[in-house]
Structure 1
Amino acid sequence: MAADLPHHLRADARDNRDRMISAARAAFSERGLDVGMREVARRAEVGPATLYRRFPTKQALIDEVFAAERRSCEQIVEEGCADPDPWRGFTSVLQRLTALNIHNRGFVDAFMSAAPAAAPFTAHRKKLLGMLERLAHRAQAQGRLRSDFVIDDLVLVLLAGRGLSTSLPNARDHAARRFATLAVDAFRAQDP
């Protein structure tokens, strides 16, 4: 019986951790990063001390909650940059990031945060924006991306697309596709 006790506690701790991450993911997705740690603990049905024991800071919780989204975001950018057609790669990145971002309002907030505690996101953002800037230069050299495009234009579109996460759930995907189509058209180089 005593030998079973530590295993039981580890499983219990794992269940608590999973509930805390799930609760935080849902809360951040719905309301952004303004959700407090006490709200996350309440949703996870654990005490605040349990939450703080596992995640001593809100940023530690944010980093854990959005690890999968960061990997997905990076994969989207890498695949777009690897496309031999830079315009197609650029438009694919825009469409796919818009689709990713509509389902999680908090991820865009975390990704764009300039707070010192958000260092993992800051480094991630800098790396991906550098890759996208090189892709944009290739698309401009191809004559498909407007010549006055700057990377901040893409950031602006992604930030604006964040508002789509407040749409009705059954309308989000359609709205994201339409928004991305309009953005692609806005970025397209005009025929002389």
Structure 2
Amino acid sequence: MTDRLPHTLRADARDNRDRILDAARALFATRGLDVPMREVARQAGVGPATLYRRFPTKRDLATEAFADQMRACQDIAEDGLADPDPWHGFRRVIERICALHAHDRGFTEAFMSAYPDAMDFAADRERTLRAVAALARRAKDAGRLRPDFALDDLILVLMANRGIQASSTAARAAASRRFAALVIQAFQASPDHAPLPPVARPA
């Protein structure tokens, strides 16, 4: 019995950690980062002491909860940069990043420097933004991206995308797709007025 106890405790600790992260992701996605830590604990079915032992601050919790999304953001930017057609790559970055952020309000807040002192998160964010900046330079050199585009414009896009209100996740995603298409046309050096996705009624 005593030989098996440490293994059981480790399994329980892992289970608690997983439940805390699952609860945090669900709450942050729908309500943003203002959710109280005690509510995360209640949703996870653990006591506040257990939550704070694993994640002493909300910054620690958010950084871990959004690790997968941050890696996805990096992959999106790097995939765009690897595209031999820089304008196609840039368009896909806008579409995919808007789609990713449309599903998670909390991640958008965290990505936009909510926790600048979370060094790993900040470094990952800067790496993503550097890749987008390099892709934007290539698209400008190709004459496809308007020359006055600035990286801050991407942050404005994410801020506006975060503001989409919808009655369901599907409606929010549909509205985000149309918004991304409008943004891409606005960024294009010579807009071709390609057909937009269907109109989505956000609420």
Name the TM tier (shorter chain). over 0.9
1:127 counterpart letter in structure 2: R
1:79 matched to 2:79? The reply is yes
More deviation, 179-188/166-175: 166-175
Question: Residue 31 of structure 2 aligns with which residue?
Answer: 31
Aligned to 1:138: 138
Greater shift, 91-100 or 143-152, is seen at 143-152
Match of 2:24, as an amino acid? A
Kindly tell me: are residues 26 and 165 of structure 1, through their superposed partners in 2, closer, same or farther at Cα, counting changes over 3 Å?
farther
**116 and 128 in structure 1: CA distance in 2 versus 1, 3 angstrom threshold:** closer
RMSD (Å) for aligned C-alpha atoms: 1.5
- Judge conservation of contact 1:114–1:122 (CA < 8 Å) in 2: no
Write out per-residue CA displacement over residues 95-142 of structure 1, whole angstroms, 9 at most, x where no aligned residue.
000010011110111111254433323222222222211211111111
| Aligned-partner Cα distance in 2 for 1:117–1:155 | 19
Aligned residues: 191
Structure 1 moving runs of 4+ over 6 Å: none
Residue 62 of structure 2 aligns with which residue? 62
Structure 2, unpaired ranges of 5+: 192-203
Distance 1:104 1:114 in 2: 14
Give per-residue Cα distances to partners, 1:139-177, cap 9 Å, x unaligned.
111111112111111211122111236552221221121
The offset of 1:182, in angstroms, is 0.6
Letter in 2 for 1:38: R
- Structure 1 residues 80-99: aligned runs within 5 Å: 80-99=80-99
Displacement of 1:60 after TM fit? 1.1
Unmatched 5+ stretches in structure 1: none
TM-score by length of 2: 0.89
1:159 corresponds to = 159
Is 1:110–2:110 an aligned residue pair?
A: yes
Matched, 1:53 2:50: no
Deviation readout 1:12-38 (Å, 9 max, x if unpaired)? 111111110000011111111111211
Alignment partner of 2:148: what SS?
Answer: coil
Query: Relative to total residues, which structure has the larger helix share, 1 or 2?
Result: 1
